[in-house]
């Protein structure tokens, strides 16, 4: 992984991946996409990592695709364009299939591809001044790859409005429509984010993995199939040592207070 463009730190179970191109407002290029894929593979394998946080260095989370990338894309033919698009699609699939919670920590601007990157995370925490927008339509482009995720998060009507208008929305509005999970004030942002991530990382890792996997697996199942699959996941959780230990602790506390 290229440490200069994507830094990697682990503290108390939280791996923080930081887009590190502040002079380019953390704009996306092939190098940074490759680094993200490598980091996802690394965090998936490291048992010390329970939660993955994605941040941006400097004043913005991510301003979208690098201008040099846009120029390169504009000169591509159909086959080369398809291969390039599949590269970003592969990143989104890896994020969806990653066994651990991925949390976007957004400040400043998250625009176009940067907004898509945040949307592809399982959870989004935002500073109250953060701005979101899928502005590709203003260039005659379509934020096609993020639509599969966005329509699931905010519903079809909201998703189409965001994509068709390409307008920017502030963090409180993004939270209201379901694009963002939590908004924290700027003065306490790092403290609040740290507490949230630490709390999430304190949950049993196996249970978190089962929960995330089932949530997304249900997307392609009918109701009865979903209930059946959930029953199997329920059994997996029950048979885990973490669950058995948790039940023992709960029963002991009840016995002491009764």
Pairwise CA distance, residues 47 & 67, whole Å: 37
- Closest among 186, 195, 236 to 214, alpha carbons compared: 236
For the record, the structure tokens of 99 come out as 């066994």
Q: What is the pLDDT of residues 55-86, one digit of tens each?
A: 999 999 999 988 777 777 777 788 887 888 88
Kindly report the average pLDDT of the chain as a whole number. Answer: 91
The pTM for the full model equals: 0.91
Q: Are strands 131-133 and 169-170 parallel, antiparallel or unpaired?
A: antiparallel
- Closest among 54, 38, 30 to 3, alpha carbons compared: 38
pLDDT number for residue 86: 87
Residue 27, Ramachandran bin (φ over 0: left; ψ between -120 and 50: alpha; else beta): beta
The single residue of 136, 161, 175, 224 carrying the catalytic annotation is 136
Pairwise CA distance, residues 55 & 208, whole Å: 21
Pairwise CA distance, residues 26 & 29, whole Å: 9
Q: Is 129 among the catalytic positions?
A: no
Pairwise CA distance, residues 2 & 19, whole Å: 11
How many alpha carbons fall within 13 Å on the CB side of residue 235?
5
**What are the φ and ψ backbone dihedral angles of 175, each rounded to 5 degrees?**
-70, -40
- Closest among 104, 22, 27 to 58, alpha carbons compared: 22
Pairwise CA distance, residues 43 & 28, whole Å: 20
Distances (CA, A) of 27 to 23, 58, 91, 122: 9, 12, 16, 21
pLDDT number for residue 169: 98
Q: What is the pLDDT of residues 195-236, one digit of tens each?
A: 999 999 999 999 999 999 999 999 988 999 989 988 888 888
**What are the φ and ψ backbone dihedral angles of 129, each rounded to 5 degrees?**
-95, 5
CATH code for residues 6-201: 3.90.226.10
Tens digit of pLDDT at every position of the chain (258 positions): 445 899 999 999 999 999 999 999 999 999 999 999 999 999 999 999 999 999 999 999 999 988 777 777 777 788 887 888 888 899 999 999 999 999 999 999 999 999 999 999 999 999 999 999 999 999 888 999 999 999 999 999 999 999 999 999 999 999 999 999 999 999 999 999 999 999 999 999 999 999 999 999 999 889 999 899 888 888 887 777 777 776 777 767 777 776
Q: Any idea where the domains of the chain sit in the sequence?
A: 6-201, 205-257
């Amino acid at each position: 992984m290229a440490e200069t463009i994507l830094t990697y730190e682990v503290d108390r179970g939280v791996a923080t991946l930081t887009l590190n191109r502040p002079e380019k407002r953390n704009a996306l290029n092939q190098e940074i996409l490759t680094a993200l894929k490598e980091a996802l593979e690394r965090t998936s394998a490291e048992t010390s990592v329970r939660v993955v946080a994605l941040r941006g260095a400097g004043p913005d989370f991510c301003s979208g695709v690098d201008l040099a990338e846009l120029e390169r894309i504009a000169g591509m033919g159909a086959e080369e364009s398809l291969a390039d698009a599949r590269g970003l699609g592969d990143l989104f699939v890896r994020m969806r299939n990653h066994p651990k919670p991925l949390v976007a920590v957004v400040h400043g601007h998250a625009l176009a591809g940067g907004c898509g990157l945040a949307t592809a995370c399982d959870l989004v925490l935002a500073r109250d001044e953060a701005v979101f927008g899928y502005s590709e339509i203003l260039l005659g482009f379509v934020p096609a790859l993020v639509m599969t995720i966005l329509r699931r998060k905010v519903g079809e009507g909201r998703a189409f409005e965001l994509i068709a208008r390409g307008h920017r929305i502030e963090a409180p509005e993004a939270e209201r429509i379901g694009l963002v999970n939590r908004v924290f004030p700027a003065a306490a942002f790092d403290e609040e984010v740290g507490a949230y991530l630490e709390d999430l990382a304190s949950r049993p890792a196996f249970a978190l993995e089962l929960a995330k996997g089932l949530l997304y697996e249900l997307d392609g199942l009918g109701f009865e199939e979903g209930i059946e699959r959930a029953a199997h996941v329920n059994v997996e959780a029950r048979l885990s040592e973490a669950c058995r230990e948790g039940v023992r602790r709960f029963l002991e506390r009840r016995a002491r207070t009764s």
